């Protein structure tokens, strides 16, 4: 399993982006990377699309082979919005990351790079133990129409299948990254789907809306109810889309 952190340090006027201060964003990325390096043992790929170099901040991790830093100049068509940019970042990582290409596991946990998933270690450990490599995990709403793209766990082949829909994504026309993700999940029978067994405890700030995520953990009763809800969604998805 590899953690792929997607980044855009300098959005340069990207449409539908509330948090645009470059220094503020940079500090959030550095904080998140440090968290994953310190609190997990997973290899980390940071893929960034504004051509900004942070590699000097993580020389030891990069030189040891624990981390890989990728940066390129994307976001040339800003009117399409950040969802299209996110696809470019994922695609660039799949095409250029030596860590991903040499990984035997071939599963990637894609995380929006400024955010910290406090319980990521437990989430990934249990999913590796209990589910097949062909299972795709992300949170989705109750009518199975709109997934949460902040955290996705899937095999490399699924991301490649999803990227076939990249050119359809255009925030200004109301077709988002999440719509393409949902349609790929529903139509591709090569993959099973499951929500996370445990609700991801996400901490940080939304780049789109400025919403603050607290990262708080639920109590035992809450988690029990969440597992029940998760299992019902999994059953519903299978019944509707895996006949």
CB 223 within 8 A of CB 119: no
User: Per-residue pLDDT tens for 81-112?
Assistant: 889 999 999 999 999 999 999 998 889 999 99
| Nearest partner of 69 among 136, 133, 9, judged by Cα | 9
How does pLDDT run across 171-188, given as a tens digit for each residue? 889 999 999 999 999 999
Contacts of 169 (CB under 8 A, 6+ apart): 80, 81, 83, 84, 87, 175, 176, 177, 179, 180
Q: Which pLDDT belongs to residue 19?
A: 63
Collect the ranges in the chain with pLDDT lower than 50.
none
Judge whether 193 and 134 are in contact, CB under 8 Å: no
CB neighbour burial string for 232-241, b if at least 16 within 10 angstroms, e if fewer: ebbeebeeee
pLDDT at 13: 60
pLDDT for 123 = 93
Backbone angles phi, psi at 89, to 5 degrees: -65, -45
- Exposed, middle or buried, 9 (CB in 10 Å: 0-12/13-18/19+)? buried
Domain boundaries, the chain: 2-241
Neighbouring C-beta atoms of residue 225, cutoff 10 Å: 11
List strands edge to edge, sheet with 43-48: 67-71, 43-48, 2-7, 107-112, 151-155, 135-137, 192-194
CATH architecture of 2-241: Alpha-Beta Complex (3.90)
Provide DSSP, 7-34.
Answer: E-S--SS-TT-S---HHHHHHHHHHHHH
Do residues 88 and 3 make contact, with C-beta atoms less than 8 angstroms apart? no
Kind of pairing between the strands at 116-117 and 202-205: antiparallel
- Among candidates 71, 78, 67, which has minimal Cα distance to 34? 67
DSSP, res 73: B
- pTM score of the predicted model: 0.93
């Amino acid at each position: 399993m590899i953690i792929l952190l997607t980044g855009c340090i300098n959005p340069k006027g990207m449409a539908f982006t509330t948090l645009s201060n470059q220094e503020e964003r940079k500090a959030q990325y550095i904080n998140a990377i440090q968290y994953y390096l310190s609190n997990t043992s997973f290899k980390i790929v940071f893929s960034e699309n504004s051509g900004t170099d942070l590699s000097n901040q993580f020389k030891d991790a990069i030189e040891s082979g624990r981390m890989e830093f990728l940066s390129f100049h994307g976001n040339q068509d800003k009117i399409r919005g950040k969802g299209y940019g996110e696809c470019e970042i994922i695609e660039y990582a799949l095409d250029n990351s030596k860590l991903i290409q040499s990984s035997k596991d071939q599963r990637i946990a894609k995380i929006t790079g400024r955010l910290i998933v406090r319980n990521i270690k437990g989430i990934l450990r249990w999913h590796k133990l209990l589910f097949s490599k062909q299972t795709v995990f992300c949170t989705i709403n109750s009518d199975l129409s709109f997934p949460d793209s902040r955290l996705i766990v899937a095999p490399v082949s699924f991301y490649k299948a999803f990227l076939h829909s990249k050119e359809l994504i255009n925030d200004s026309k109301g077709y988002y990254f999440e719509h393409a993700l949902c349609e790929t999940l529903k139509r591709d029978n090569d993959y099973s789907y499951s929500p996370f067994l445990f609700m991801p405890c996400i901490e940080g700030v939304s780049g789109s809306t400025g919403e603050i995520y607290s990262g708080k953990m639920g109590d035992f009763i809450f988690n029990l109810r969440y597992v029940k809800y998760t299992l019902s969604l999994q059953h519903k998805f299978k019944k509707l889309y895996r006949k």
